[in-house]
Structure 1
């Protein structure tokens, strides 16, 4: 479950980095700073997935990712796709862990 969720968070970070390249031409300094902070947080978040608080942080970071659509309109779409991927990572990961628990003798 952590591997899939980590992959989603890292890809979100790269996407924010590319969005910052687009935003450099038409955005204010605070918008770029907020985007850079979000990209850094998304890159650091996979390290926190060992604890439950990491999953909460990863879930909360989906909101500003979508909200960055105010700066780069395409981020509404990309943020929504990544939020769905984040939910899928949680659901599929839990199903995989449940299947592994059933197959592993205790």
Structure 2
């Protein structure tokens, strides 16, 4: 018998919450975009190109700010199973929007990620609700695999 398919008597392992999966992945992707934005800001610090209304000319300030936001987003991505993690992720969206003050193009990128965050919250909640409804209607297969 293959262990890919459950057999009677096997322990049923519940699926991970779709809300947790979606929000966690959104924050992880956002963390790497913030890291690349820090690299771009570092490269543009002495150029004449338009960066944003607020200037960070110190390389140390650029790397510390980018690094702190990067780590914050990664830590929050592991906390999305709790309401505090979801609230923290929502607050982090404001911080990512604020990066547009240093690098104007980040306003556009942040809007895309805010849309992804809202979609993750709505769709993840809906998928979890539908899974619970299915499991309630089909107790012999609950939790669905």
Which category describes the TM-score, using the shorter chain as reference length? over 0.9
- The answer for unaligned runs of 5 or more in structure 1 is none
Task: From 4, 15, 23, give the equivalent of 1:5.
Answer: 23
Task: From 68, 73, 84, give the equivalent of 2:99.
Answer: 68
State which structure, 1 or 2, has the greater radius of gyration over its C-alpha atoms.
2
Whether 1:58 aligns to 2:89 is: yes
Q: Assess if the C-alpha contact under 8 Å between 1:5 and 1:46 holds in 2.
A: yes
Richer in helix (by share) = 1
Q: What's the C-alpha RMSD, in Å, of the aligned pairs? A: 1.3
Q: TM-score, normalized by length of structure 1?
A: 0.93
How many residues are treated as equivalent by the alignment? 106
Q: TM-score, normalized by length of structure 2?
A: 0.69
Structure 1 counterpart SS, 2:84: helix
Structure 1 residue ranges, 4+ long, deviating more than 6 angstroms after superposition:
none
- The answer for unaligned runs of 5 or more in structure 2 is 1-18, 46-55, 140-145
For residues 1-28 of structure 1, give each alpha carbon's deviation from its aligned partner in whole angstroms, at most 9, with x where no partner exists. 1111111000000000100101113133
